[in-house]
Chains A and B, each alone.
Chain A
Amino acid sequence: MAYALQQLINGLTLGAVYGLIAIGYTMVYGIIGMINFAHGDIFMVSAFIAVTAFTLLAAFDITSLPLALTAVLITAIFFTSAYGWAVERMAYRPLRGSTRLAPLISAIGMSIFLQNMVQLTQGARVKPIPPVIEGGIELWRTADFTVQVSWTQIMIVLVTVVLMVAFTWLITQTAFGRQQRACEQDSTMTALLGINVDRTISATFMLGAALAAVAGVMVTVYYGVVDFFIGFVAGIKAFTAAVLGGIGSLPGAMLGGLIIGLIEAFWAAYLSPEYKDVATFAILILVLMFRPSGLLGRPEVEKV
């Protein structure tokens, strides 16, 4: 029982991270109908930016934790959004209006490019950072097992919840969100009402990248290590989460992320850690076979 509770906590943490990344997939799919396969690598880039920022802060001897975390978050969000913007501008916008397959292939190319760029400039070895946040709370101690929730886990879940609430508000209540939903439902008509569709699409990519940046910073703090390949696996899992929740659906991406995180944690704990990725991708295949529209992917669901 205690062991299961611990897995629940771990799963929720992981799920929060997947959910944040999945939003980027689902938003881009909603607005231009393509899967941005480079999104996982955008997440990886943000983790490297976080490592760089943490190292720099340590070099300048800034040790105040809230200050350092905020600075790293802002830096990562800023630069990662710039990456998101640039990727769209260079790899996808020139292909708008061509076949559906062209930007997809371009996305895969972009993904390989980003991985190799980071590998060449940062090296292929795993980059560690010293632990940023230490300690946690002991929730429950039984004879043979102690349930622990670390401060990092609490932070990840809290930040994710706050971001998701803010994000839902942004999409449903603000002028920007309205414009975005309009583009998603009929981009031609939106342009004919005088709205700059290209700019809306750029903003969508930047927002998706910003959320991935938050995920990247938190993963860096959580695991303490990054390498150039983390974007691939995390990206594909987040994509699975988006498909599971119903691609194009914002609440679906959050729900899908949570479910994938929980399944991964429990599978690793009770069945076999080696096969946890198999479980995730088996879900992807099953969803595509039996419920291609995903859990919340019904037409009346509000899409981004």
Chain B
Amino acid sequence: MSATLLSVENLTMRFGGLTAIDDLSVSVPAGKITAIIGPNGAGKTTFFNCLTGFYKPTVGSVRLAHPKKGEMRLETMTGHRVARDAQVVRTFQNIRLFPKMTVLENLIVAQHNFLQEASRFSIAGIFRLSGYRKAESEALKTAAHWLERLGLTDIADVAAGDLPYGTQRRIEIARALCVDPVLLCLDEPAAGLNPRESAELNTLLLSLCREEGIAILLIEHDMSVVMNVSDHICVLNYGRKIAEGTPEEIRNDPQVIKAYLGEDDEETASGEKAA
């Protein structure tokens, strides 16, 4: 297994009396696709929220081994720092684009920090100095690159909110990529996609990982995506990790089958007897 990019240790998140995540330890390898699966309410999205500064975990640590900046503790970072400094970016289950901006503008906003640096407190930006113009054209180039890769070039100037659902999903991924992530966290990217679109998503995820070297952390219910792209799968149930391994191992894990099919112990036992 390759080097660890993200290591989560003893993560616990409690909301009053409810323990949404219970002593979870997971490690996410660099340059691979890791899937987090589990039944509804297993704590998958809460886990993402803990990684991206939305929630402050009750207990535990989230360490990111940033390839350039060294170790970072994500659980101590808030809001914009997770994306700006640690370059960990996420998408949402329900799409959150800027609906009134064009697709291109959505992608440029994601490169704001890069532009801001070049614009020197907006001064160079307002007066269009050459350094800023150069940064701007680079930002456009980055945007154009991802638009091309995700097949969005033709609709670059359309307001994002006017586009169909499947397209908006791709825009959301393109926008996240514009932040130049070291870890891309996708929350159910295949939700609401038709079979053809989710097959395209598979190809995209694999190429991002294999060609661009971006590590991907994926929450997904669509098993055709999970089983085909994941290098590593972690299964959660009631906030605890019940299994971890390759797709093959997970497919045959009795614990996982139990969690998904909801058999209880007696039935399993009597079923085995009958067999």
List residues of A whose CB falls within 8 A of some B CB: 170, 174-176, 178-179, 181-182, 185-186, 188-197, 300, 302-303
Name the A residues within 8 Å of B175 (CB-CB).
Answer: 193
Q: Which of A170, A185, A196 contacts B100 (CB 8 A)?
A: A185
> Quick check: B83 and A192 within 8 Å, CB to CB?
yes
A189-B92, A191-B83 given; 12 more Cβ-contact pairs under 8 Å: A174-B122, A176-B122, A178-B105, A181-B100, A181-B101, A182-B101, A186-B98, A189-B97, A192-B79, A192-B89, A195-B84, A196-B80
> Quick check: A179 and B90 within 8 Å, CB to CB?
no
Return the CB mask of B87-127 against A: 1 if under 8 Å, else 0: 00110100011111100010011101101100100100110
Interface of B is mostly: helix
| Chain B: CB-nearest residue to A182 | B109
Q: In the assembled complex, how far is the CB of residue A97 from the closest CB belonging to chain B, in whole angstroms?
A: 12
> Quick check: B100 and A175 within 8 Å, CB to CB?
no
Q: In the assembled complex, how far is the CB of residue A56 from the closest CB belonging to chain B, in whole angstroms?
A: 28
Q: Which of B52, B79, B90 contacts A197 (CB 8 A)?
A: B79
> Quick check: A176 and B80 within 8 Å, CB to CB?
no
Q: In the assembled complex, how far is the CB of residue B96 from the closest CB belonging to chain A, in whole angstroms?
A: 4
A170 to B179, alpha carbons, bound, how many Å? 23
> Quick check: B109 and A195 within 8 Å, CB to CB?
yes
Q: Which of A170, A188, A193, A302 contacts B109 (CB 8 A)?
A: A193
- Let me know if B235 is at the binding interface, CB within 8 A: no
Name the B residues within 8 Å of A175 (CB-CB).
Answer: 108, 112, 115-116, 119, 122, 125, 136
| Chain A: CB-nearest residue to B98 | A185
Name the B residues within 8 Å of A174 (CB-CB).
Answer: 122, 125-126
Return the CB mask of B250-275 against A: 1 if under 8 Å, else 0: 00000000000000000000000000
Name the B residues within 8 Å of A176 (CB-CB).
Answer: 119, 122, 125
Count chain B CB atoms within 10 A of each CB in A181, A191, A197 and give the residue with the most. A191
Name the A residues within 8 Å of B236 (CB-CB).
Answer: none
- Let me know if B82 is at the binding interface, CB within 8 A: yes
Contact status of A194 and B98, CB under 8 A, knowing A175-B125, A178-B108? no
Return the CB mask of B226-250 against A: 1 if under 8 Å, else 0: 0000000000000000000000000
A-B contact pairs, 9 of them (CB 8 A): A175-B108, A178-B112, A186-B96, A189-B96, A191-B79, A192-B79, A195-B109, A197-B79, A303-B100
